[in-house]
A and B are shown apart, each in its own frame.
Chain A
Amino acid sequence: MIAVLALLAGVVLGLWLDPTVPAALQPYLPIAVVAALDAVFGGVRAKLDRIFDDKQFVVSFISNVLVAALIVYLGDQLGVGGQLSTGVVVVLGVRIFGNVAAIRRHLFRA
């Protein structure tokens, strides 16, 4: 419950502060969000599996975001930025789907 409130607080904060993203970071923001979502869904699933670990969650969140941004950055430098972004989104999407399916099994037993 506290986590949901925290999420809402973050959204409100983002909408209220409305920070301008530096142009150099703009291409990495969506990828970073997807990577962060992957970490969060992993955390929720781990919570339901009763194996949640704060340190693991924090590390996976930060490393996910950084690695995803780094891969896209590398791709941009090598001229395959679009394709690598697609690859990152596919991998993260598969993981999110898998974790959401596990969460669904936990919640609805189906």
Chain B
Amino acid sequence: MSERVGDDGEGRRGVRAFTPDFLTELFRNPLDPGYADAAAQRAKSGRPARPGWSVGPVSLVLVVLLGFLCAVAYRQTTAEEPGRAQARSGLVAQIKQRQTDTDALSVRADELREEVNRQREAALGGSQAARLRDLEASTGLGRVRGDGVVVRLADGPGGQDSLSGANVGPSQVLYSDLQGVANDLWGAGAEAIAINGQRLTATSTIRNAGQAILVDFRPVTGPYEVSAIGPDSMRKRYESSRSALTMRKVAQDTGLSFGVRDVDDLTLPAAPEPRLRYAEPAVSPSASPSGDDESSGSGTSPSPSGGGR
């Protein structure tokens, strides 16, 4: 046995001189070469190797140390686990708390807006108030009610790749689908549109961030319902629009679901209060480009993505 090992060692050393390939060496001979060297030296000097399973005291100390290390590492890992779970559940609780806060605040904002509207109508009276209401309805700042259509889009059933078993998702609704539907609904004469209860205005954006679709920077999840209030002819005109035809074909081919139906008495909520942006005159005609950067950084000039739709 030791004979064979000695041969191995010599062969390895011979090869090592010619192929200094670390990975090959690592896979072929994982043992520290120092053992073979020490054995060779021992054989030369004639000292006997330790018999059987006995090891030196220093090695024993090291083995004790190894057990100690393993135990400490185990303790450490198990001790960290509840901390991590705690931090995670704490974050989840915080998110939930903030969401309820946001909901309560937006309900309060709606109440206040109603109140403001009531007060304004009382103050203005008559035709001016009516004109204001009409303007608010058409710009998306007021709640509207009426008959219209609901276009429903939903992701197809999650397909699995037969080879890798990974989820493949060609049958997913894309943000561009929602954009197309909304644009064609406007084109078909819609007066107000909301996606999953989120009212669209002239400056609304429909974009995607990773897997999520954002409408006005708020995530919406499938199934997507695009509700539109408009004249009776809207349904017919929309059905012959490009996005309707495309989506029907896509739905046929991929298993994604797409449907248009008439709905009476839809109520669309008001869009959140728009953030007003004010144009500011440049400080001087010789304003440098860096000045422009500054103003866009502080959010006073319209960002290119703000009105992306």
A11 and B59 within 8 A (CB): no
Interface size class of B (residues with CB under 8 A): 35 or more
Bound-state Cα–Cα, A49 to B9, Å:
12
Interface residues of A in 61-100 (CB under 8 A from B): 61-62, 91, 94-99
A51 and B5 within 8 A (CB): yes
B76 and A42 within 8 A (CB): no
A53 touches which of B34, B62, B70 (Cβ 8 Å): B34
Chain A residues lying within 8 Å of B59, measured Cβ to Cβ, are 3, 43, 54, 57-58
B161 within 8 A of A: no
Interface residues of A, dominant DSSP: helix
Chain A residues lying within 8 Å of B58, measured Cβ to Cβ, are 54, 58
Chain A residues lying within 8 Å of B29, measured Cβ to Cβ, are 98
Bound-state Cα–Cα, A91 to B26, Å:
8
B109 within 8 A of A: no
Chain A residues lying within 8 Å of B44, measured Cβ to Cβ, are none
Interface residue count on the A side (C-beta < 8 Å): 51
A55 and B67 within 8 A (CB): no
Chain A residues lying within 8 Å of B217, measured Cβ to Cβ, are none
Most buried by B among A42, A46, A51, A91: A51
A13 and B68 within 8 A (CB): yes
B278 within 8 A of A: no
B39 within 8 A of A: yes
A49 touches which of B5, B55, B65, B76 (Cβ 8 Å): B5
Interface residues of B in 56-73 (CB under 8 A from A): 56, 58-73
A98 and B72 within 8 A (CB): no
Bound-state Cα–Cα, A91 to B73, Å:
20
Chain A residues lying within 8 Å of B72, measured Cβ to Cβ, are 14, 19, 21, 29
B71 touches which of A3, A10, A47, A96 (Cβ 8 Å): A10
Stretch from B46-54, B115-123, B222-230, B261-269 that touches the partner = B46-54
Distance in Å from the Cβ of A57 to the closest Cβ of chain B? 5
B68 touches which of A14, A37, A46, A52 (Cβ 8 Å): A14
A50 touches which of B1, B68, B75, B77 (Cβ 8 Å): B1
A14 and B75 within 8 A (CB): yes
Chain B residues lying within 8 Å of A50, measured Cβ to Cβ, are 1-2, 5, 39, 49
B70 and A51 within 8 A (CB): no
Q: Nearest CB to that of A64 among chain B residues?
A: B32
Bound-state Cα–Cα, A52 to B60, Å:
13
Mask, A11-48, CB within 8 Å of B = 1, is: 11111001101000010011011001100101101110
Return 21 A-B CB contacts under 8 Å, by A number. A1-B53, A2-B60, A7-B66, A9-B67, A11-B68, A14-B71, A18-B75, A19-B72, A36-B66, A40-B66, A43-B59, A51-B2, A51-B5, A51-B49, A53-B35, A54-B58, A54-B59, A57-B62, A60-B32, A98-B29, A98-B30
A10-B63, A53-B34 given; 13 more Cβ-contact pairs under 8 Å: A11-B68, A11-B70, A14-B69, A15-B75, A36-B65, A36-B66, A46-B35, A47-B55, A56-B32, A58-B58, A60-B34, A95-B30, A96-B30
Measuring CB to CB, which residues of chain A are less than 8 angstroms from any residue of chain B? 1-3, 6-15, 18-19, 21, 26, 29-30, 32-33, 36-37, 40, 42-43, 45-47, 49-62, 91, 94-99, 102
Measuring CB to CB, which residues of chain B are less than 8 angstroms from any residue of chain A? 1-2, 5, 26-27, 29-32, 34-39, 42, 49-50, 53-56, 58-77
Those 5 A-B pairs whose CB atoms lie nearest each other, nearest first: A10-B67, A14-B71, A98-B30, A51-B39, A54-B56
